Chains A and B, each alone.
Chain A
Amino acid sequence: MKKIVSIDIGSTWTKGGLFVLADKNLKLEKRLAVPTTQNNLVRGFSQALTDLLRKDENTPLKELVGAAEIYFSSSAKGGLRIAAIGLVPDLTLQLARLAAMSAGGKVMASFAFSLTRNDLATLEKLQPDILLFSGGTDGGNSQYILENARKLAGSALTCPVVYAGNRAVAEEVVELLNNKEVIVTENLMPEVGQVNLEPAREKIRDIFLKRIVSGRGLAEIVELFGSQPRPTPLAVFELVSAIPVHQPGWSDLAAIDIGGATTDFYSNTESYLETDTVVLKGIREPRVKRTVEGDLGMRVSAQSLLDSGWPYLEERLQELGLGAESLKAYVDRISRDLDYLPGSEEEGLFDRLLAETCVFYSALRHIGGWKETYTPQGRVYVQTGKDLRRVKAVIGSGGFLSAATTAQIMRHPLLKLKTYGQERKLLPEKPEFYADRQYLFSLLGNLVEKYPAEATALAVASLEKLNDEE
């Protein structure tokens, strides 16, 4: 029997779980959450750890070494802030955005073609954690790349630069950017249409470990317990990646994680099925994909959700006979008081509408579509983006969806998407909905690398199937 602790240091809460592993069977023993102290992340960490191991709160961390295997993740002040540079918006820039998001980052800004003076000013003001710099196939375009490298060299940008563009000019890019820290990796798109996100994701993760986590006390934890932290969204990404591999019957799934600041949408399913009547345009997206929406969230981003999500909200308010003004007043209130919980039935309904809106727009942006075209050879569908029709399980996670009592919170907005816009959205055709009731996804994500079969088994077993009744 082995004791395993997994801790997730979030921006407001540090969550922890104590697991025991016996005969390849992982079980949750205890789960808790303590407030995070931003300037010293170790305090929350050791509070969670001592509590989980039933030790005195003041036990020095040193004495806990060996008491359990320890894994942890951190969302590092609301996540990795990444700026992306690509060449053509539909090709390398799109891939740079996907790579950043699937590494657990949040894309703060993205730029195509030549950087303008304005773009540089935006970058300098933003001071992202990482700049992901791509463009050109291997042996392809170099002029834009070198021009942008020159401009970046002259900028006041201080973050590390991950170069994942045309390999033929990698050395020159390093020379031009000799006043910055440059990490060279494989091209995101070595050939047109060839998608190669993994190497850049690895480098982003390395930087996360080295630069972003140290400094706030986490180095001590790494040294004591010998395990590296990962970005929280990456932990979930790894869990979503591993479930179809290890759990029969879970070959195609999606997960939606609605938080206070962002909404994350994960999918694990083949993105395109080649047939005579469906032609794919643009890049073929990866089987495992994460998108993160910084304007969709339940609290910190509630105001921007109101702006981005107004068309959906307006329609729903009308359907339910609720007033727009009272919703706006509620959003004002929760934007000021981030820990506010609904105090009336109407406020509860508002929270639910906000969650539905997060589902609607994150799905709209994540999922691809078909446009019907008539050709002399007959009817053909032109597909752009990712096909989620074969997804059988849609999992809700994050504070709000973990507590969902009905599948309708997710089903309803997805149904609305069916009739939205010009193209046919490639939505899950017969989805079942689940809630990550004990909010274990990020904790189990930390264990996936070491215990893939066991962690995915517990993840699946801990899900609660949602019905359509309220």
Chain B
Amino acid sequence: MQPENLSNREPEFKNMEKDTIILGVIGADCHSVGNKILELFFTAEGFKVVNLGVMVSQQEFINAAIETNAKAILVSSLYGHGEIDCQGFRDLCLEKGLDRILLYVGGNLVVGKTPFEIVEEKFKKMGFDRVFPPDVDLKKAAELLKQDIKARFGSDSHGPRNDDQAGQPEKSSPETDAGTSKARNPKAG
């Protein structure tokens, strides 16, 4: 049998060629306002945004990224427990076969007045590619995201076919190694 006529679905196909990113607030964090703003902003920037909302677990981020063949996961944390919630996130990604995915994190990541440089280093050690303070310029963040996607997935990163980052849990790309990500990373924000 023939698949349905797909040609009259052009607009949707255009949407399918956008880079998918996963968005959500991690842990027991219910702050939903910023999350909605991020969704609107990144959609306007041309991304296909899958917003998982508040109180999202690591596993949920990863499940959504696998099904959608996402290029990046953007983790928000606003209630100060981000460090505990994000522990082991990169490892779990590798475990589940997402060995090239970009991991971004931002918000009020720790309680108290820790200098941002220290916070950033902490999260980079955990395997996050970029770490953002609460007052980040979103425009800049979006530019960095576009650059990073291009660098990691190549110029031919668009389109539904190119999803070779999934399914090979045993082959971890050295690119995503937490230790090396710092070198490529200009100061965020």
Contact = CB atoms under 8 A, between A and B. Distances in A.
A109 interface: no
19 contacts: A88-B63, A114-B167, A136-B68, A139-B20, A139-B68, A141-B163, A143-B69, A143-B163, A168-B16, A168-B161, A170-B3, A181-B1, A183-B1, A189-B67, A279-B55, A281-B57, A375-B28, A375-B30, A380-B55
B45 interface: no
A382 to B, nearest CB: 7
Contacts of A191: 50
A144 B167 contact: yes
B1 A141 contact: no
- What is the interface residue range for chain A against chain B? 35 or more
Contact of A141 (B31, B57, B67): B67
B53 A136 contact: no
Given A139-B20, A168-B160, A376-B79, A279 B67 contact: no
Interface string A110-142: 000110000000000000000000011111111
Contact of A142 (B57, B70, B161): B161
A182 B2 CA distance: 9
B12 A141 contact: no
A373 interface: yes
A282 B79 CA distance: 23
A77 to B, nearest CB: 25
Interface in A354-378: 373-377
Contact of A167 (B6, B63, B67, B80): B6
Nearest to A147: B167
Interface in A147-178: 147, 166-171, 174
B30 A192 contact: no
A142 B160 contact: yes
B137 interface: no
B54 interface: yes
B1 A192 contact: no
A92 B79 contact: no
A279 B53 contact: yes
B88 to A, nearest CB: 19
Q: Is the interface of B mostly helix, strand, loop or mixed?
A: loop
A305 to B, nearest CB: 32
Contacts of B28: 373-376, 380
Interface of A: 87-88, 90-92, 113-114, 135-144, 147, 166-171, 174, 181-186, 189, 191-192, 279, 281-282, 373-377, 380, 382
Interface of B: 1-4, 6, 12-13, 15-17, 20, 28-31, 48, 50, 52-55, 57, 60, 63-64, 66-70, 79-80, 160-161, 163-164, 166-167
Given A169-B160, A373-B28, A91 B3 contact: no
Contact of B1 (A135, A140, A166, A182): A182
B54 A279 contact: yes
A136 B69 contact: yes
A87 B67 contact: yes
Contact of A377 (B30, B164, B166): B30
Given A135-B67, A377-B31, 15 more contacts: A138-B12, A139-B16, A139-B17, A139-B69, A142-B161, A143-B69, A143-B167, A169-B160, A171-B3, A192-B68, A374-B28, A376-B80, A377-B30, A380-B28, A380-B55
Report which residue of B2, B13, B68 has the largest number of chain A beta carbons within 10 angstroms of its beta carbon.
Answer: B68
A283 B63 CA distance: 12
Contact of B3 (A143, A181, A184, A376): A184
Contacts of B69: 136-137, 139-143
Nearest to B68: A140
B79 A375 contact: yes
B160 A143 contact: no
Report which residue of B4, B31, B166 has the largest number of chain A beta carbons within 10 angstroms of its beta carbon.
Answer: B166
Complex A-B, nearest 9 residue pairs according to Cβ-Cβ distance, in ascending order? A139-B16, A168-B160, A140-B68, A184-B3, A375-B28, A170-B3, A88-B63, A141-B69, A140-B69
A360 B14 CA distance: 48
Report which residue of A92, A143, A147, A373 has the largest number of chain B beta carbons within 10 angstroms of its beta carbon.
Answer: A143
A88 B66 contact: yes
A184 B30 contact: no
A174 B166 contact: no
Contacts of B6: 167, 170
B162 to A, nearest CB: 9
A136 B4 CA distance: 18
Nearest to A281: B60
Nearest to B166: A143
Report which residue of A138, A185, A282 has the largest number of chain B beta carbons within 10 angstroms of its beta carbon.
Answer: A138
A113 B167 CA distance: 8
A75 B49 CA distance: 44
A168 B4 CA distance: 12
A147 B164 CA distance: 11
A138 B63 contact: no
Nearest to B64: A192
Contacts of B164: 143
Report which residue of A135, A138, A140, A168 has the largest number of chain B beta carbons within 10 angstroms of its beta carbon.
Answer: A140
A92 B167 contact: no
A138 B3 contact: no
Contacts of B3: 170-171, 174, 184
Nearest to B63: A88
Contacts of B161: 142, 168-169
A174 B50 CA distance: 28
